[in-house]
Amino acid sequence: MKGNLFKTRMGIITAGSVIGVIAALLAYLGNPKNMGFCIACFERDIAGALGLHRAAVVQYVRPEIIGIIAGALIISLIKGEFKPRGGSSTIIRFFLGVFAMIGALVFLGCPWRAFIRLAGGDWNAILGILGLIVGIGAGSFFIRKGYSLGRSYPQGRAAGYIMPGFFIIVFAMMVFGFSKLFMSESGPGAMKAPFIISIIAGLIVGILAQRSRFCTMGSIRDVILVKDFHLMSGVAAFTAAVFVMNLILGQFKAGFEAQPIAHTMHLWNFLGMTLAGFAFSLAGGCPGRQLILSGEGDTDAGVFVAGMLVGAAFSHNFAMASSGKGIGEFGAWGTIIGLVFCLVIAYTMTQKRKTA
């Protein structure tokens, strides 16, 4: 840990606290309530801006996402940690990303938002977090049995720049007013914090998450597998910081009903995040961590992120995404198919351990 304060216990707590404060402030400054940072929702908005889906209320190039991946890229280059690698079960990782997004949009949030919703008083998030734990627990069970997607291999330097470059180009398209982008005029996609604040916030979060290895999925996995609470202390600090800031800013509202961009179908809140947690566990990181790894040159993580963008398109184009009224017409089918897919992948990619 020498040379990186953020890998210490106090460092991960500090990083989690700062990210939590930023999340609450972004919601206060204009982002959707209880959604200061939601990697899945924000990637869904970007997919909409690119026309991958036509849900007019969720289309916007979220500067926070570009900031996160750019921040991770910049700091990894400075610290000599930009190491292009990939080639580990590429097609499997893509579809894990697809189904992770489907599960997240059935619940209406990624793991980051699940804890943000909890800290805002949305008790529906409790079902989502329980589902997340079950999904990660399922993945951890197979990891113990020998599950692996295989090793990655060094790639040419250009490969590591592809996913960061893609997001930076999309960002430039918005900055220069490219007319073919789709932008929401109402709904969650039209709710946004000031542009400059959003991009700076993303850069800060990207740098902090890269240095600290902040990961919601990893925190739960480490507790289950090795009883290590290091990453969990960062997630706990993140949740506490959002909670305290919400109290200060008057954003805390406890209950199940009438929560912002949430529904009360408890079974599907649970199962949606079970699917997401299972997929994140099998892929090796939550969506925030996958963005950070993409910024470090990990093309496998980049493929997972691409899968999430496509998953957002499937979710909205084929009526799987939820709304405040409940899950989409085919949300249950998407969740069940995703769970079956993850089970099949987990079982078939588990190598039987040899005994002496």
Residues 268-311 pLDDT 10s: 999 999 999 999 999 999 999 999 999 999 999 999 999 999 99
Q: What is the pTM of this model?
A: 0.95
Query: In whole angstroms, what separates CA 112 from the centre of its chain?
Result: 7
Could you list the beta-strand ranges (E) of 112-212. Answer: 153-154
At 3 the pLDDT is 65
Q: What is the pLDDT of residues 231-255, one digit of tens each?
A: 999 999 999 999 999 999 999 999 9
Residues in CB range of 214: below 8 A, 6 or more apart: 12, 15, 16, 19, 208, 231, 234, 235, 238, 288, 289
Which residues does residue 324 pair with via DSSP β-bridges, in sequence order? none
* Predicted local distance difference test score (pLDDT) of residue 5: 83
Residue-level pLDDT, tens digit, the chain, 356 residues? 456 788 899 999 999 999 999 999 999 999 999 998 899 999 999 999 999 999 999 999 999 999 999 999 999 999 999 999 999 999 999 999 999 999 999 999 999 999 999 999 999 999 999 999 999 999 999 999 999 999 999 999 999 999 999 999 999 999 999 999 999 999 999 999 999 999 999 999 999 999 999 999 999 999 999 999 999 999 999 999 999 999 999 999 999 999 999 999 999 999 999 999 999 999 999 999 999 999 999 999 999 999 999 999 999 999 999 999 999 999 999 999 999 999 999 999 998 544 33
Q: How far apart are CA 325 and CA 258, in angstroms?
A: 10
Determine contact, residues 120/240, Cβ cutoff 8 Å.
Answer: no
- The CA-based angle 217-218-222, given to 5 degrees, is 125
Every domain of the chain and the residues it spans: 7-348
Question: From the CB of residue 333, how many other CB atoms can be counted at a distance below 10 Å?
Answer: 14
Residue 85, SS3 per DSSP: strand
Question: Please, what is the end-to-end C-alpha distance for the chain in angstroms?
Answer: 35
What is the rounded (10 degree) CA torsion for 213, 189, 250, 243?
Answer: -20
For tokens 């309530």, the residue is: 33
Query: 141 Cβ partners below 8 Å, 6+ apart?
Result: none
